[in-house]
Amino acid sequence: MLTYIGIEQNSWGDYGKPNIEALLLTHRHAGEAAGQSRRSLGNEMPEPMWETQMSQPLFAEDILFLQRFLKCCHLYDGPLDGQFNTGVGNGEDALAARYQSIKLEMGSFDARSEACIMTLQPDAQSKARAFLKAATTLPLTYKIISGTRTYAAQDELFARGRTKPGHRVTNAKGGQSNHNFGIAWDVGIFDNGKYLTGATHQEEQAISTSARTFWPM
């Protein structure tokens, strides 16, 4: 699995224009631990079960998160109080319109990728589509398998292998992952329908070769 960061933004409080040229790659085991630069590698390790849906489209169960997300997208300037209001509704409509506009301009992809792209900030949506379009020239199949996650969803992942059963999949708590800010997406690589986990040398080599195709080492 590969994680890509489409734009750079340091916190919810940074509402300035994002640097959409900062398209970063962290190879296979990617993430952001507390106190470390968002450019660092090796801290977040997404679970190799691509079927697990990690994104929460529209964030309906966490209005405060939705308000913060829309504010970062410059689509909401109301209070951060966790209460749904007209401004939030208008922001959601504007975000949906931006999604449709970008999709119409840049092309659409598989349903799983589209569901994840929908959860990203608009500038990151454009970058994600540009990535998928470039990936169509490669022999392997690329799909976006995770987009934005709420703090609560991130904390659920962090609990795996710690306070809950399962393998550890991330070292990033809620608020410490680029996925919590709508700027990152995970990519699954498939070979004739088989998800490549990197479990074998052949798969690891295929993943590394694909990564270098986009960003030479």
Statement: residue 190 has pLDDT above 50:
yes
C-alpha 85: how far from its chain's center? 26
Tell me which residue has tokens 């691509």. Answer: 50
Residue bearing the bigger pLDDT, 215 or 134: 134
User: pLDDT value at position 132?
Assistant: 93
Domain that residue 46 falls in: 2-214
Q: Are 65 and 150 in contact (CB under 8 A)?
A: yes
**2 in Cβ contact with 189 (< 8 Å):** yes
- pLDDT tens per residue across span 63-106: 999 999 999 999 999 999 999 999 999 999 999 999 999 999 99
pLDDT, tens only, 143-189: 999 999 999 999 999 999 999 999 998 999 999 999 999 999 998 98
Q: Cα–Cα–Cα angle for 187, 120, 110, nearest 5°?
A: 50
Q: Give me the number of domains the chain comprises.
A: 1
The pTM of the whole model exceeds 0.85: no
Give burial (CB, 10 Å; 0-12/13-18/19+) of 57: middle
CB 9 within 8 A of CB 181: yes
Query: What pLDDT is attached to residue 81?
Result: 96
Measured CA to CA, the distance from residue 149 to residue 3 in angstroms comes to 13
Question: Has residue 31 got a pLDDT over 70?
Answer: no
CA-based Rg of the chain, rounded to a whole angstrom? 17
Decide if pLDDT at 58 tops 90. no
| pLDDT for 205 | 81
Residue 82: left if φ>0, alpha if ψ -120 to 50, beta else—which one? left
d(CA 91, CA 69): 10
> Hey, what amino acid is at 150?
T
212 C-beta neighbours (distance < 10 Å), count: 12
16-40 average pLDDT score: 30
As a whole number of angstroms, the distance between CA 130 and CA 146 comes to 16
